[in-house]
Structure 1
Amino acid sequence: MYCPNCGAENLDDARFCRKCGSKLKIERKTTYKTTVDETVNTQQTSQNSNDGSKKWIYIGCCCLSLIILWIVGTLGV
């Protein structure tokens, strides 16, 4: 960080200039961090929605198999 008054280089977290002593403006950087819990919850939500569709595919296959077995049984093949 450079002093706006004299142009001297200072540490980034300095409050006052080391050369002239004038007050420095502290630049605050805002960072957003995602916690592990938020990431896990997002992944679990997407997995739960996929589990529902897999369940219906399984039920549909079972019903289709039963219908085919019933047709084969009534034809006597």
Structure 2
Amino acid sequence: MKRSKGIGTLCFLLLVGLLFGGFVGDFLAKYVHAFSYQQMIGMNSPISIDLNFIKVSFLLAFRFNLGTVIGLIIAIFSYYKVK
């Protein structure tokens, strides 16, 4: 029986690649200067909704470094190599 590659597999590999790449990038930033550069993309302050009985805050921000980019590339490459 042949396994099909679905969107779930792609999302899982991308998430693992970004997380693992981020950890490796943070670790290597102490030793290799190229990994210490980071770019933050997202909101600076959270959006808050106060309805008197519940308060909801929302903040979305992404932090990229060289490790996350390498992890992302490896995840995409491995997605196309999975049979």
Q: TM-score, normalised by structure 1?
A: 0.31
Q: Which has the larger radius of gyration?
A: 1
